[in-house]
Amino acid sequence: MELDKKAFKKLLPNLVEELESSKNKVAINSVRTDVKTGEKAVSKRFVHYAPDVIDFIRRCDTEEQAEEIISYMEKRGEIEKQYAKKLRKQLEEKGVRSFGPKKEENYYFKHGEQ
């Protein structure tokens, strides 16, 4: 099936807008043609690691953001109601930093083992 640009725009306007905009672009800083070298460069420390509610809370700047995370994960059934209650109590009594220092942007890239 062949589509001209006009038909493509009409069929998938949001995709065309996304492709033509300068938002959501990712810079490619390097290219590895050797698979073994590329695989060695990948961080192994966080392979198969699934962040938990505390990891997400540690990315928050405010108590309101942390409460949003707790509510969202509780609603989805990712944390138990009782655990959510315990987290809320800690948040209220000790604050958002009581869960640990703030995880900066690109935390997993910066702290992964090479």
Long-range contacts of 78-86, Cβ-Cβ distance < 8 Å, separation of 24 or more:
78/53, 79/53, 83/53
The conformation of residue 98, written as its DSSP 8-state character, comes to G
What digits encode the pLDDT tens for the residues 10-66?
888 888 888 888 776 666 555 555 666 555 555 555 555 667 898 889 889 999 999
Residue from 29, 51, 59, 53 nearest 41 by CA: 29
Q: At what angle do helices 81-94 and 63-75 cross, to 10 degrees?
A: 180
CA dist., res. 16 & res. 82, Å (int): 46
Residue from 22, 42, 46, 18 nearest 30 by CA: 42
The conformation of residue 50, written as its DSSP 8-state character, comes to -
pLDDT band at 114 (very low <50, low <70, confident <90, very high): very low
Residue 100 is predicted with a pLDDT of 84
Q: Does residue 107 come out as left (phi exceeding 0), alpha (psi in the -120 to 50 range) or beta?
A: alpha
Under a CB-based contact definition with an 8 Å cutoff, are residues 87 and 70 in contact?
A: yes
Instruction: Indicate the pTM of the whole model.
Output: 0.54
